[in-house]
Amino acid sequence: MSTRDLIVFDDAADLAEQIARRLELFVTEHQTDGREPHVVLTGGTIAIDAYRLIDADAANWSRVHWWWGDERFVPEGHADRNDQQARDAFLDRIGTPADHLHPMPAHGCSDSMAAAADGYAATLPDEPFDLVLLGVGPDGHIASLFPGFDQLHETERDCVEVFGSPKPPPERITLTLPRLNRARDVLFIVAGEGKADAVARAVTGSGTLEDTPATGVTGQDRTVWLLDEAAASQLDR
Protein backbone atom coordinates (compact mmCIF):
# COMPACT_ATOMS: atom_id res chain seq x y z
CA MET A 1 0.00 0.00 0.00
CA SER A 2 1.31 3.43 -0.91
CA THR A 3 2.07 5.80 1.97
CA ARG A 4 2.16 9.58 2.17
CA ASP A 5 4.20 11.74 4.52
CA LEU A 6 4.45 15.49 4.98
CA ILE A 7 7.48 17.02 6.69
CA VAL A 8 7.95 20.73 7.33
CA PHE A 9 11.29 22.45 7.97
CA ASP A 10 11.97 25.88 9.44
CA ASP A 11 13.15 27.60 6.28
CA ALA A 12 14.42 27.06 2.76
CA ALA A 13 18.00 26.56 3.91
CA ASP A 14 16.97 23.71 6.22
CA LEU A 15 14.79 22.25 3.48
CA ALA A 16 17.62 22.25 0.95
CA GLU A 17 19.91 20.54 3.44
CA GLN A 18 17.35 17.82 4.13
CA ILE A 19 16.69 17.21 0.45
CA ALA A 20 20.41 16.66 -0.12
CA ARG A 21 20.75 14.30 2.84
CA ARG A 22 17.67 12.30 1.84
CA LEU A 23 18.90 11.91 -1.71
CA GLU A 24 22.25 10.67 -0.44
CA LEU A 25 20.53 8.19 1.88
CA PHE A 26 18.14 7.00 -0.82
CA VAL A 27 20.97 6.23 -3.22
CA THR A 28 23.07 4.53 -0.55
CA GLU A 29 20.20 2.28 0.54
CA HIS A 30 19.47 1.20 -3.02
CA GLN A 31 23.11 0.51 -3.75
CA THR A 32 23.33 -1.65 -0.63
CA ASP A 33 20.82 -3.90 -2.35
CA GLY A 34 23.12 -4.06 -5.39
CA ARG A 35 20.96 -1.84 -7.57
CA GLU A 36 21.68 1.18 -9.72
CA PRO A 37 18.75 3.49 -8.92
CA HIS A 38 17.04 5.54 -11.61
CA VAL A 39 16.32 9.06 -10.34
CA VAL A 40 14.31 11.79 -12.10
CA LEU A 41 15.55 15.29 -11.32
CA THR A 42 13.61 18.53 -11.23
CA GLY A 43 14.68 22.11 -11.75
CA GLY A 44 13.87 25.14 -9.63
CA THR A 45 15.62 27.19 -6.99
CA ILE A 46 15.19 24.85 -4.02
CA ALA A 47 16.29 21.85 -6.08
CA ILE A 48 19.46 23.56 -7.27
CA ASP A 49 20.21 24.76 -3.72
CA ALA A 50 19.89 21.15 -2.55
CA TYR A 51 22.03 19.76 -5.37
CA ARG A 52 24.85 22.13 -4.42
CA LEU A 53 24.88 20.59 -0.92
CA ILE A 54 25.25 16.96 -2.06
CA ASP A 55 28.36 15.32 -0.65
CA ALA A 56 30.50 13.82 -3.40
CA ASP A 57 31.69 11.14 -0.97
CA ALA A 58 28.29 10.17 0.44
CA ALA A 59 27.50 7.49 -2.17
CA ASN A 60 28.88 5.79 -5.24
CA TRP A 61 27.38 8.34 -7.58
CA SER A 62 28.81 6.59 -10.63
CA ARG A 63 26.13 3.93 -10.13
CA VAL A 64 23.08 6.18 -10.44
CA HIS A 65 21.09 6.89 -13.60
CA TRP A 66 19.86 10.48 -13.83
CA TRP A 67 16.78 11.48 -15.82
CA TRP A 68 14.72 14.67 -16.08
CA GLY A 69 11.00 15.28 -15.64
CA ASP A 70 10.96 18.18 -18.07
CA GLU A 71 13.24 20.42 -20.04
CA ARG A 72 13.28 23.82 -21.67
CA PHE A 73 13.70 23.32 -25.43
CA VAL A 74 16.71 25.61 -25.78
CA PRO A 75 20.20 24.81 -27.09
CA GLU A 76 22.45 22.34 -25.30
CA GLY A 77 24.48 24.04 -22.58
CA HIS A 78 22.03 26.95 -22.24
CA ALA A 79 21.80 28.29 -18.71
CA ASP A 80 18.00 27.82 -18.73
CA ARG A 81 18.25 24.06 -19.23
CA ASN A 82 17.48 21.93 -16.18
CA ASP A 83 20.19 19.46 -17.11
CA GLN A 84 22.83 22.19 -17.36
CA GLN A 85 21.85 23.62 -13.98
CA ALA A 86 22.12 20.15 -12.42
CA ARG A 87 25.49 19.57 -14.09
CA ASP A 88 26.78 22.86 -12.73
CA ALA A 89 25.37 22.22 -9.24
CA PHE A 90 26.56 18.64 -8.71
CA LEU A 91 26.61 16.18 -11.59
CA ASP A 92 29.97 17.36 -12.96
CA ARG A 93 31.38 17.68 -9.45
CA ILE A 94 30.58 14.09 -8.49
CA GLY A 95 31.99 12.67 -11.71
CA THR A 96 28.86 11.18 -13.25
CA PRO A 97 29.64 8.87 -16.19
CA ALA A 98 28.23 10.09 -19.50
CA ASP A 99 26.29 6.87 -20.03
CA HIS A 100 24.44 7.42 -16.73
CA LEU A 101 23.18 10.86 -17.76
CA HIS A 102 19.93 10.92 -19.73
CA PRO A 103 19.19 14.54 -20.68
CA MET A 104 16.22 15.43 -22.83
CA PRO A 105 16.91 16.58 -26.40
CA ALA A 106 17.93 20.19 -26.96
CA HIS A 107 16.89 22.82 -29.46
CA GLY A 108 19.06 22.47 -32.53
CA CYS A 109 18.71 18.71 -32.79
CA SER A 110 17.51 17.37 -36.13
CA ASP A 111 14.10 16.34 -34.75
CA SER A 112 10.91 18.30 -34.33
CA MET A 113 9.78 18.78 -30.72
CA ALA A 114 7.25 15.96 -31.08
CA ALA A 115 9.89 13.61 -32.49
CA ALA A 116 12.34 14.68 -29.80
CA ALA A 117 9.76 13.90 -27.09
CA ASP A 118 8.98 10.50 -28.59
CA GLY A 119 12.69 9.79 -28.95
CA TYR A 120 13.26 10.50 -25.28
CA ALA A 121 10.32 8.30 -24.34
CA ALA A 122 11.93 5.45 -26.27
CA THR A 123 15.01 5.65 -24.03
CA LEU A 124 13.12 5.46 -20.72
CA PRO A 125 13.70 2.37 -18.57
CA ASP A 126 11.20 -0.46 -18.75
CA GLU A 127 10.99 -0.61 -14.96
CA PRO A 128 9.43 2.14 -12.85
CA PHE A 129 11.67 5.00 -11.79
CA ASP A 130 13.00 4.51 -8.28
CA LEU A 131 12.58 8.17 -7.33
CA VAL A 132 10.98 11.22 -8.96
CA LEU A 133 11.69 14.69 -7.58
CA LEU A 134 9.02 17.29 -8.30
CA GLY A 135 8.77 20.97 -7.57
CA VAL A 136 5.41 22.73 -7.56
CA GLY A 137 4.79 26.11 -9.14
CA PRO A 138 2.60 28.86 -7.66
CA ASP A 139 -0.06 27.79 -10.18
CA GLY A 140 0.18 24.15 -9.06
CA HIS A 141 2.12 22.94 -12.10
CA ILE A 142 4.62 20.08 -11.96
CA ALA A 143 7.32 19.35 -14.53
CA SER A 144 5.93 21.24 -17.55
CA LEU A 145 2.35 20.13 -16.98
CA PHE A 146 0.37 23.34 -16.55
CA PRO A 147 -3.21 24.01 -15.38
CA GLY A 148 -5.71 23.76 -18.22
CA PHE A 149 -3.24 22.36 -20.78
CA ASP A 150 -4.20 19.35 -22.88
CA GLN A 151 -1.02 17.50 -21.87
CA LEU A 152 -2.64 16.81 -18.48
CA HIS A 153 -4.93 14.31 -20.18
CA GLU A 154 -2.32 12.49 -22.26
CA THR A 155 -2.68 8.73 -21.82
CA GLU A 156 -0.75 7.21 -24.73
CA ARG A 157 2.62 8.98 -24.70
CA ASP A 158 5.23 9.01 -21.92
CA CYS A 159 6.80 12.26 -23.06
CA VAL A 160 5.23 15.17 -24.95
CA GLU A 161 6.01 18.60 -26.37
CA VAL A 162 4.61 21.79 -24.82
CA PHE A 163 4.05 25.04 -26.70
CA GLY A 164 3.06 28.35 -25.15
CA SER A 165 4.19 27.60 -21.61
CA PRO A 166 2.94 30.33 -19.25
CA LYS A 167 6.40 30.24 -17.68
CA PRO A 168 9.22 31.14 -20.09
CA PRO A 169 10.75 29.79 -22.19
CA PRO A 170 7.55 28.81 -24.02
CA GLU A 171 8.73 25.60 -25.71
CA ARG A 172 9.35 22.57 -23.51
CA ILE A 173 9.39 18.79 -23.33
CA THR A 174 7.86 16.98 -20.37
CA LEU A 175 7.11 13.55 -19.00
CA THR A 176 3.39 12.89 -18.75
CA LEU A 177 1.31 11.93 -15.74
CA PRO A 178 1.16 8.20 -16.62
CA ARG A 179 4.96 8.03 -16.72
CA LEU A 180 5.49 10.14 -13.60
CA ASN A 181 3.08 7.86 -11.78
CA ARG A 182 5.27 4.89 -12.73
CA ALA A 183 7.63 5.80 -9.90
CA ARG A 184 8.19 3.84 -6.74
CA ASP A 185 8.83 6.97 -4.68
CA VAL A 186 7.80 10.57 -5.37
CA LEU A 187 9.38 13.45 -3.47
CA PHE A 188 7.70 16.85 -3.70
CA ILE A 189 10.07 19.66 -2.70
CA VAL A 190 8.51 23.11 -2.23
CA ALA A 191 9.67 26.37 -0.65
CA GLY A 192 8.15 29.82 -0.40
CA GLU A 193 4.92 31.51 0.62
CA GLY A 194 4.01 32.11 -3.01
CA LYS A 195 3.42 28.37 -3.40
CA ALA A 196 1.44 27.89 -0.17
CA ASP A 197 -1.98 28.01 -1.83
CA ALA A 198 -1.00 25.45 -4.49
CA VAL A 199 0.51 23.18 -1.82
CA ALA A 200 -2.65 23.37 0.28
CA ARG A 201 -4.84 22.49 -2.71
CA ALA A 202 -2.63 19.55 -3.64
CA VAL A 203 -2.11 18.14 -0.14
CA THR A 204 -5.71 18.47 1.03
CA GLY A 205 -7.22 17.33 -2.26
CA SER A 206 -9.29 20.50 -2.58
CA GLY A 207 -7.66 21.20 -5.93
CA THR A 208 -8.48 19.41 -9.16
CA LEU A 209 -6.17 18.12 -11.86
CA GLU A 210 -7.25 21.02 -14.08
CA ASP A 211 -6.32 23.74 -11.60
CA THR A 212 -3.61 21.94 -9.60
CA PRO A 213 -1.66 19.38 -11.66
CA ALA A 214 0.33 18.42 -8.55
CA THR A 215 -2.73 16.44 -7.44
CA GLY A 216 -2.09 14.04 -10.31
CA VAL A 217 1.07 12.25 -9.16
CA THR A 218 1.43 9.61 -6.44
CA GLY A 219 4.32 7.25 -5.78
CA GLN A 220 3.58 3.55 -6.05
CA ASP A 221 5.29 2.96 -2.69
CA ARG A 222 5.75 6.37 -1.07
CA THR A 223 4.82 9.98 -1.64
CA VAL A 224 6.67 12.49 0.54
CA TRP A 225 6.12 16.24 0.73
CA LEU A 226 9.12 18.22 2.01
CA LEU A 227 8.18 21.84 2.68
CA ASP A 228 9.49 24.90 4.42
CA GLU A 229 7.24 26.76 6.87
CA ALA A 230 6.32 29.35 4.26
CA ALA A 231 5.11 26.76 1.75
CA ALA A 232 3.17 24.95 4.49
CA SER A 233 1.58 28.12 5.89
CA GLN A 234 -1.92 27.39 4.56
CA LEU A 235 -2.07 23.83 5.84
CA ASP A 236 -4.05 22.99 8.97
CA ARG A 237 -1.44 21.12 11.03
Which residues fall within 8 angstroms of residue 233, CB to CB, at 6 or more apart?
Answer: 193, 196
- Output the DSSP codes for 44-78: SHHHHHHHHT--TTSS-GGG-EEEESEEE-SBTT-
213 preceded by a cis bond (ω within 30 of 0)? no
pLDDT at res. 108: 75
Give pTM, 2 decimals. Answer: 0.96
Domains along the chain with CATH numbers: 3-228 (3.40.50.1360)
Check if the beta carbon of residue 100 is closer than 8 Å to that of residue 64.
Answer: yes
Can you give the pLDDT of all 237 residues of the chain as single tens digits? 789 999 999 999 999 999 999 999 999 999 988 889 999 999 999 999 999 999 999 999 999 999 999 999 999 999 999 999 999 999 999 999 999 999 999 987 777 999 999 999 999 999 999 999 999 999 999 999 999 999 999 999 999 999 999 999 999 999 999 999 999 999 999 999 999 999 999 999 999 999 999 999 999 999 999 999 999 999 997
Check if the beta carbon of residue 92 is closer than 8 Å to that of residue 98.
Answer: no
Alpha-carbon span 198 to 21, nearest angstrom: 26
Dihedral sign (CA 101, 102, 107, 108):
positive
Q: Are strands 172-175 and 159-162 parallel, antiparallel or unpaired?
A: antiparallel
